[in-house]
């Protein structure tokens, strides 16, 4: 009998990589049964046999043989005179199976079948991709950059599924070109106009958590628990960890010998500084640890309004605030307190940290003064203008202007 060579007739099938054999056979059978219902009014008396391996499909019409004048339903019955044309030995009451030839279908019906097949397979493949990645939300995937646009990057996974990494979910210093390999976490999956839209992220706290799980076996095994994570992507991150096993040092385990475990994570995050902190239910101690590397003298808490007044030596204030204010900002988000930093009046109420003068003195000048051991206003004023100019390699005019600004602070 005639058969349909699916591989040749429907070449699009080769492109569908996410459909298994059984599902492909089921789709094919459903499409042809729909066509049979449309043509014959019912598919009850038909067998549709699909062989994906050989690329064949056969349709058999099964009917009961009755006397010539007793045919009531041509779909389920066949006259004896017609049956013996197929096989001379047939008798009344027997069942005859007759192949349906492809030429029995019109050109328009064949085209309709083809369109329905492609449509159903595309629909199934999209739903399959959606369900697959719905289960992967929160997991890290590795993909290859296929196209880099201004606002987003198109990434292909190892099965050729399209993923999107928006600019807003990239670390500011990320730069990718076509062919590059990147790692990101699956942030969310949406259906837009019937098409799955898989969004990746490299700025999510979950991405950092998954990286720690990959690098630190104790975290993956649950021996160390990550309690909280806060990030300023590409700049700084703080992660609070704890262990219920007193024999395990959670911070030491996460950092590794000489930073061996955390170095890989830092590189992946474009040299983002990561502070690993021991979690505690004691808010005073937790705030003190969260402001690391600054050392705290004392803390006054307002539990009702979730505010904390932190006092420290003048030379520690700039460390607590951090470059760009990221350290104190992240400490506040990590602890849940609004933190205000004050110079400790018991140390030297009249001395002022040089970082307090950044609105009047250029940062590069302050950095030069730091290099010669001058962190406060009085430490600078204790030196002569000539000594400062020589040791800090500054112009005399610049030194005199700095001295004038610092002296004005104490007048």
CA angle, 25 then 37 then 3, to 5°: 45
- Show the tokens assigned to 289: 């640890």
Q: Where does the pLDDT of residue 153 fall: very low under 50, low under 70, confident under 90, or very high at 90 and above?
A: very high
* Spatial CB neighbours of 60, under 8 Å, sequence gap ≥ 6: 46, 47, 49, 97, 98, 99, 100
Judge if 52 and 77 occupy the same domain: yes
Give the domain range for residue 305: 280-343
**pLDDT number for residue 345:** 58
284 close to 307: Cβ distance less than 8 angstroms:
no
Q: Would you say residue 33 lies in a domain? A: yes
Residue 161 in this model has a pLDDT that exceeds 50: yes
The residue among 41, 18, 37 whose CA lies nearest residue 29 is 37
Judge if 45 and 73 occupy the same domain: yes
Q: Would you say residue 213 lies in a domain? A: no
Average pLDDT over residues 16-29: 69
Instruction: Measure the CA–CA gap between 314 and 379, rounded to whole angstroms.
Output: 12
Judge if 320 and 403 occupy the same domain: no
Judge if 54 and 32 occupy the same domain: yes
Q: Would you say residue 93 lies in a domain? A: yes
> Taking the CB of residue 361, how many other CB atoms lie within 10 A of it?
18
Judge if 33 and 20 occupy the same domain: yes
Using one digit for the tens of pLDDT, what is the confidence trace for 195-207?
999 999 999 999 9
Range with the lowest mean pLDDT among 150-164, 273-287, 314-328? Answer: 314-328
The enclosing domain of 174 has a CATH number of 2.40.50.140
Number of domains into which the chain is organized = 4
- DSSP code for 376: B
Average pLDDT over residues 66-79: 81
Range with the lowest mean pLDDT among 238-242, 279-283, 371-375? Answer: 371-375
Q: Give me the sheet containing 273-278, strands edge to edge.
A: 224-232, 236-243, 273-278
**pLDDT number for residue 16:** 55
Judge if 286 and 389 occupy the same domain: no
Judge if 335 and 394 occupy the same domain: no
Residue at which a domain ends, from 294, 322, 343: 343
**pLDDT number for residue 182:** 96
Percent of the chain with pLDDT over 90: 47
The enclosing domain of 331 has a CATH number of 3.30.300.20
Judge if 336 and 373 occupy the same domain: no
Q: Where does the pLDDT of residue 34 fall: very low under 50, low under 70, confident under 90, or very high at 90 and above?
A: confident
Q: Would you say residue 172 lies in a domain? A: yes
Judge if 126 and 155 occupy the same domain: no
**pLDDT number for residue 54:** 61
Residue 348 in this model has a pLDDT that exceeds 70: no
Judge if 127 and 12 occupy the same domain: yes
**pLDDT number for residue 20:** 66
Instruction: Measure the CA–CA gap between 350 and 355, rounded to whole angstroms.
Output: 15
> Looking at per-residue confidence, does 353 or 104 come out higher?
353
b/e for 207-226, b at 16 or more Cβ within 10 A? bbbbbbbebbebbeeebbeb
Range with the lowest mean pLDDT among 37-46, 156-165, 237-246, 379-388? Answer: 37-46
Residue 84 in this model has a pLDDT that exceeds 50: yes
Residue at which a domain ends, from 177, 201, 225: 201
Average pLDDT over residues 340-351: 68
Judge if 332 and 359 occupy the same domain: no
| Most confident of the ranges 79-88, 110-119, 140-149 | 140-149
Average pLDDT over residues 288-316: 90
Residue 209 in this model has a pLDDT that exceeds 50: yes
Q: Would you say residue 215 lies in a domain? A: no
Judge if 174 and 88 occupy the same domain: no
The enclosing domain of 109 has a CATH number of 3.30.1480.10
Average pLDDT over residues 244-257: 92
Q: Would you say residue 395 lies in a domain? A: yes
Q: Where does the pLDDT of residue 266 fall: very low under 50, low under 70, confident under 90, or very high at 90 and above?
A: very high
Average pLDDT over residues 108-128: 79
Q: Would you say residue 196 lies in a domain? A: yes
Give pTM, 2 decimals.
Answer: 0.67
Q: Where does the pLDDT of residue 42 fall: very low under 50, low under 70, confident under 90, or very high at 90 and above?
A: confident
Average pLDDT over residues 113-120: 77
b/e for 290-311, b at 16 or more Cβ within 10 A? bbbebebbebeeeeeeeebebb
Mean pLDDT of the chain: 86
Residue 2 in this model has a pLDDT that exceeds 70: no
Q: Would you say residue 256 lies in a domain? A: no
């Amino acid at each position: 009998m005639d058969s349909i060579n699916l591989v040749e007739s429907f070449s699009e099938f080769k492109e569908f990589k996410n459909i298994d054999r059984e599902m492909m056979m089921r789709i094919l059978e459903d499409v042809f049964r729909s066509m049979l219902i449309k043509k014959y009014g019912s598919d009850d008396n038909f067998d549709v046999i699909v062989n994906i391996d050989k690329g064949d499909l056969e349709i058999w019409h099964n009917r009961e043989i009755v006397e010539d004048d007793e045919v009531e339903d041509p779909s389920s019955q066949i006259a004896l005179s017609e049956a013996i044309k197929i096989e001379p030995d047939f008798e009344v009451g027997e069942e005859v199976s007759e192949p349906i030839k492809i030429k029995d279908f019109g050109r328009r019906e064949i085209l309709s079948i083809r369109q329905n097949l492609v449509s159903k397979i595309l629909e199934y493949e999209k739903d399959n991709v959606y369900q697959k990645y719905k289960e992967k939300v929160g997991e890290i995937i590795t993909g290859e950059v296929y196209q880099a646009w201004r606002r987003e990057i198109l990434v292909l996974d190892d099965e050729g599924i399209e993923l999107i990494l928006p600019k807003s979910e990239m670390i500011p210093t990320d730069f990718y070109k076509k062919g590059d390999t990147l790692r990101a976490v699956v942030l969310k999956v949406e259906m837009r106009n019937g098409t799955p839209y898989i969004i990746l992220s490299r700025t999510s706290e979950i991405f950092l958590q998954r990286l720690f799980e990959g690098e630190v076996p104790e975290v993956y095994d649950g021996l160390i628990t990550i309690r909280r994570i806060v990030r300023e992507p590409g700049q700084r991150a703080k992660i609070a960890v704890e262990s219920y096993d007193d024999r395990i040092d959670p911070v030491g385990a996460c950092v590794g010998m000489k930073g061996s475990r955390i170095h890989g994570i830092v590189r992946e995050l474009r040299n983002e500084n990561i502070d690993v902190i021991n979690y505690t239910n004691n808010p005073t101690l937790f705030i003190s640890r969260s402001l690391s590397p600054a050392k705290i003298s004392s803390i006054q808490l307002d539990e009702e309004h979730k505010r904390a007044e932190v006092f420290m030596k003048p030379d520690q204030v700039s460390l607590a605030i951090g470059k760009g204010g990221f350290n104190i900002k992240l400490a506040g988000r990590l602890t849940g307190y609004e933190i205000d930093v004050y110079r400790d009046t018991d140390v030297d109420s009249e001395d002022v940290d040089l970082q307090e003068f950044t609105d009047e003195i250029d940062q590069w000048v302050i950095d030069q003064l730091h290099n010669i051991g001058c962190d406060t206003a009085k430490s600078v004023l204790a030196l002569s203008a000539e000594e400062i100019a020589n040791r800090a390699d500054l112009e005399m005019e610049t030194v005199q202007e700095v001295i004038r600004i610092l002296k004005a602070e104490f007048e």
